[in-house]
Structures are given as structure tokens and as C-alpha cells.
Amino acid sequence: MNLEKLLKKVEKPAQYLGNEYNSVRKEIRENTIRFGWCFPDLYEIGMSHLGSLIMYHLINEKTEAFCERFYMPGEDMSKLLQENYLRIFSLETKSSMNEFDLIGFTLQYELSYTNILHMLKLSEIPLRSADRKEKDPIIIMGGPCAYNPEPIADIADIIVIGEAEEIIIELIELYREHATNKADFLTAAAAIQGVYVPSAYKTSSRITKRFIKNLDQSYYPQNPLMPHMKTVHDRATVELFRGCIRGCRFCQAGIIYRPVREKSKEKLVADACAIIQNTGYDELSLTSLSTSDYSQFYDLANELMSELENERVGLSLPSLRLDNMTLKILKQIQRVRKSGLTFAPEAGSQRLRNVINKGITEDDLIQSVKKAYEAGWSQIKLYFMIGLPTETMEDVEAIYQLVSNLDHEVYQKRDSQYKHPLKISVSVSNFVPKPFTPFQWSPQDTMESLKMKHQLLKEKFRKKRSVQFNYHDPETSFLEGIFARGDRHLSEVLIRAYEKGCRFDGWMEHFKFDKWMEAFEELEINPEKYTQGTKSTDTALPWDHIDALVTKEFLIREYNKALNAETTPHCRQKCTGCGLQTVEGGGICP
């Protein structure tokens, strides 16, 4: 393969080079287990994914296997590979995927599934697991989308349920024992907790998720890969904790990553300082599902800035909670530079915020933004959702009213001290019901209804010069909802749509909704059966054989409370009885 010749014909050629700073090289011997880690989207997105960085370095440091990386090639590179009868190649050794023993795909988004098929096709690996031979790699998949594994169950050989750090090491060691017999390996793998082997599944058993019990003792790379080019999140990252004390009823991550497990402040400071020293980043992201809920957040931020301020390293935070943001926190964030501030009210009316158990008020938002404005911030982002259960048009209009009230209140603060007007970015996403949430039984709002609500908000916000309004496409949300709560019949729909040219479905410039609808029609499957109609809580669900360690009884209680707009306290206020405290050897319930 003449890589130099190919790179002269593609956009962003740096994404195919490999050999980045802190990348790993190993000698490949006859008994070396080769593991291909695959992110089914572009390099600039995959290199920002913390889980992929952890797994890449973990496998290379803690096992004798050699882990190499594959990313979804851009459309220009895909075309060149096909025209020249070439295969997709790893960044480390430029090897084809079908030369590897084990291949791992991370499932972060339902609309990346066709990209997985394309990467397999470009590697001459059969798409269906039943068609693969002894010589073909074992295809492993895992990630948040794996909690409903059925839409990809005919494609994957193994599906990991839960956090993968321990499972991957166990699978690699197991493969060393059974490398010459794929059937024996899959049978043995099925006995590992957290491993689902669709071809060997017995209907009487349940697959129980795995989670890391002590994050201070878990692996975290202090020498992470440094990309060759600008990525989506171009900064160093430390993970404060896993899980979430909140009980937002729309949020799948808040359920599947339970229980809450914090890293110690000392571990976080040590990791952060080492990563900055080993990479040269000038920005450090403190990431978690709800970062400001870290129990020592202020002390951590203060200590980090004391260590890093002289290096001109700033702190970056994801979306902040409106009910625990203080001026003390803001002053720590801005000691080097002001990063962006993002808040997620999610709903415009208090009634609907109670339905989703958001736990904040309009006054929380106004007071938090006022504090930020007084501290010197003049740009904020607000995230909302439409299509939530029980939503009315009055709830949708309340989004505009809430933003207008906020704009007015902050405008009143303007004087000679605050010269810059507040600029507000409003982003509206379409609610998609997900497995293992109280809304897993709820219908998804129709595309027609969502378009009407978008139009209403567009017309309202058009009058607001200080507000930038963005919204998500209803058709992509419809497809996401189908695969989020779909069954095994969707594997064939997925393959048929891919054969019709569907890939990069999460990118509007590539999304082919008409081809997807053709695939459903040809296979005589009604896509709306997966999204429409309220399901009885007694209905069998495609993911009922997966045990996320949160009881269905808890989800039903929360669902009924949502329908009555009743709230539930967060875990530090009162145990909500989700089921995790009954798990033997379980995590640390706050």
C-alpha cells in the first residue's frame, strides 16, 4: 500500500498517520495476541473519547497483547480504498483488521451502527457473526448502547455489559487458552459476568453488568495519546467519579453507571499534574455526569489551580448543576481563563421539570447566570429537550419564556461595570426514550409534532437578537429511537440500509432517511412499532435479559411518579431504593 500516494488525495491526512506522541509500539511475535480497538466515527471524534484512550493504554500496559487503533475513514478515503482494492488499516502498523485476533467496537451512539458494518466490509470480515469462519477475528462490542444489545446481536460475537476494564483483560487471557478453537472460546467467555454471547445465550439466564468497585485502584493513563490534529475536545481530562446522585428520569447514563464511585482528591490531583506534564495541554477538563456534585469539588478545583496556575493551565467543566453553582466555584474556574459555561434546564416549565425530576427551578437558573455575568461571563449555553412525556405546547412555549425572563433579568444588571450584553445559545434536542429509564415505556414524539414545536420556537426566538437557537433533526431522532428500543429483527434492517449506501447517519450531510425507510419497507417491518404507543409495564422488553442492577420495580415507581409530576430526592438526601444497596459487594451508595 502506497500510503503517501493516498494521503495526497484526502482531506485531513493527519488522521491516518499514526505514530502520535505517547502511542504504543510493540514487537509482534508468533504468540502475540493482536487486539484492534475500533471507534466507529472519524479520528477527530474518536481521539476525544476518554473510554477509548483508557482501553488502548490499559490493554497495552497491563497485558501482553498489542492493541492498535482503527477509526472510521472519511468518505474520500473509503472511496480510495475501495477503488484500489485496499483494506482499512490500523494506525500503529498499517495492518488490515482481518489480521487481528480480537476486535473491539465501542457503541456510543445508535446512529454509528452502519459505520461498524462499513469498517467490517472494508476489512473483508463477514457482517453476520454466523457467517464468520475460524480464521476471522472475534468481534466484541460494548458501551452504553450495549444495554439493549439485540439490534446488533446478529453482528457481534461478544457484547460487554457494563464497564469493560476488567472484562477485557479476562477475555484476552481466556483467548490465550482457547486461541485455536473459536467455539470453545465463546463458550468459556459466556461464563464471565458481564459478557453476553448471543449465539450461546440460554433464555433462562440474565446477563449482569460489571462495574469497577474502586476507581482509585482502577487504571487511568497518565501518558495519553496526543492527536496529530485538532480534535473535538482538545484538552487533558480527568474523570472525577462514575455514576450520578441525581435521578433525572430521561437519563440512561444516570441509571446504567450507578452506583456513584468517587476518586480521591489526591488521586485526581496526581493524575492531572502527570497528564499535563506528559502532554503539554493548556486546558484540563474535569469530567463526570454531574461534575459539580463531586463531594470535594471546591477543594479539588482550588488545589488543581494552585498546582497548574503557573503553567497557565485552565479548568474546563461540562454542564453545571444550577442548584450548586457558587461564586467560589466560578472564581476557581476563571483563575487562568474563562472557559464556556453550559447549563441544562432541560424543560421550560416547572411542571415538566418535575415530571423529569430535574430538581431545579427558574430562580436557580436566573441566579446562577447572574452570578456568572457578575463574574465576567457574557456567553452561556442552555440545553433543553422537547417531546418529553406529558409535554404540551404550553411547556414548549415556556422554553422561550424562561430564556426571555433570564435575558431580561440579566439586562437589568447592566451598567458601566458590565459592558458586554449577555449572549445566549439555546440548543433543543428531541427526547428519545432509552432502556433502563422510567420512560422506557413511553411513546416517542412523532416527527410531525417535533417539527411543529421546532417551528414555534424558531418563530419566537427570531425576535431575540441576543439568542442563537439550534435544534436537532427529527428524522435522525426517529431512527435513534428505533434502534434504542429495538429487537433482533433490526440487524437485517441495518444490513439492508448499509447495502443501500447508509453510513455516517449521525451526520446530516450524509444521512439518507429515504434509504432507511426503503429498507424497512422491503423487509416488511413497521418502524413506528418501536417508537409509538405507550407500553404496559408488564410488556416483555427486548433488553429484559440484561440486569443493570437497578430493579424494574424502581423504574415503574419513578414512571408513575413522573405521570403525576412528583419528584424524588437525590441519593445524598435519601436512598431511593433503586436496588443497588442490595447488591453483594456493591459500590458505594452515597
DSSP conformation letters of 353-401: HHHTT----HHHHHHHHHHHHHTT--EEEEEEEES-TT--HHHHHHHHH
C-alpha distances out from residue 131 to 128, 154, 156, 389, Å: 5, 10, 11, 42
CATH number at residue 187: 3.40.50
Residue 511 lies in a domain: no
Residue of 387, 412, 414 lying closest to 399 (CA atoms): 387
Residue 336 lies in a domain: no
> So what's the pLDDT on residue 205?
83
Residue 234 lies in a domain: no
Q: Which residues contact 378 (CB under 8 A, 6 or more apart)?
A: 420, 421, 422, 423
pLDDT, average across residues 553-582: 93
pLDDT, average across residues 30-55: 97
Distance CA 438, CA 433 (A): 9
- Dump pLDDT digits (tens) for 202-234: 776 899 999 999 999 999 999 999 999 999 989
Distance CA 555, CA 49 (A): 29
Is the confidence at residue 270, as pLDDT, over 60? yes
- Dump pLDDT digits (tens) for 273-329: 999 999 999 999 999 999 989 999 989 999 999 899 888 898 888 767 766 666 666
pLDDT, average across residues 339-363: 93
Q: Which residues contact 295 (CB under 8 A, 6 or more apart)?
A: 262, 590
Residue 30: Cβ-neighbour burial (10 angstroms; 0-12, 13-18, 19+): exposed
Residue 110 lies in a domain: yes
Residue 287 lies in a domain: no
Show the beta-strand stretches assigned E in 403-524. Answer: 423-430, 467-471
> So what's the pLDDT on residue 534?
87
3-state secondary structure of 507: coil
3-state secondary structure of 220: coil
> So what's the pLDDT on residue 373?
85
Task: Give the range of the structural domain holding residue 144, as residue numbers without chain letter.
Answer: 3-208
pLDDT, average across residues 396-402: 98
Residue 61 lies in a domain: yes
Q: What angle do CA 408, 414, 416 make, to 5 degrees?
A: 170
Where are the alpha helices (H) located in 259-311, listed in sequence order? 265-279, 297-308
Instruction: Write the DSSP symbol of residue 466.
Output: T
C-alpha distances out from residue 470 to 194, 377, 395, 458, 567, Å: 39, 21, 18, 9, 29
3-state secondary structure of 530: helix
- Dump pLDDT digits (tens) for 418-475: 567 889 999 999 999 999 999 999 999 999 999 999 999 999 999 888 899 999 999 9
When divided into structural domains, the chain yields a total of: 1
Give the whole-number percent of the chain exceeding pLDDT 70.
Answer: 93
Distance CA 510, CA 493 (A): 18
Residue 519: Cβ-neighbour burial (10 angstroms; 0-12, 13-18, 19+): buried
- Residue 363: CB atoms within 10 A of its CB come to 12
Is the confidence at residue 523, as pLDDT, over 70? yes
C-alpha distances out from residue 83 to 6, 42, 275, Å: 11, 20, 41
Residue 327 lies in a domain: no
3-state secondary structure of 78: helix
Distance CA 194, CA 580 (A): 16
Distance CA 287, CA 320 (A): 11
> So what's the pLDDT on residue 336?
58
Whether the CB-CB separation of 70 and 90 falls below 8 Å is answered with yes
Tell me the pLDDT band of 345, cut-offs 50, 70 and 90: very high
> So what's the pLDDT on residue 339?
63
Would you report the helix, strand and coil content of the chain in percent, each value rounded to 5? 40, 15, 45
Distance CA 287, CA 339 (A): 14
Q: Which string of b and e fits 424-452 if b means at least 16 CB within 10 Å?
A: bebbbebbbbbbbbbbbbbbbbebebbee
* Partners of 142 in the β-ladder: 106, 160
Whether the CB-CB separation of 146 and 157 falls below 8 Å is answered with no
Residue of 491, 500, 495 lying closest to 518 (CA atoms): 500
Query: Taking the model in full, what pTM does it have?
Result: 0.95
Whether the CB-CB separation of 114 and 505 falls below 8 Å is answered with yes
Q: Which helix (H) or strand (E) covers residue 196, if one does?
A: strand 195-196
C-alpha distances out from residue 542 to 204, 276, 486, Å: 14, 44, 7
Is the confidence at residue 520, as pLDDT, over 90? yes
Is the confidence at residue 417, as pLDDT, over 60? no
Residue 405 lies in a domain: no
Is the confidence at residue 386, as pLDDT, over 60? yes
Residue 187: Cβ-neighbour burial (10 angstroms; 0-12, 13-18, 19+): middle
- Mean confidence (pLDDT) of the chain: 93
Instruction: Write the DSSP symbol of residue 96.
Output: B
- Dump pLDDT digits (tens) for 167-209: 999 999 999 999 899 999 999 999 999 999 999 877 768 999 9
pLDDT, average across residues 516-542: 96
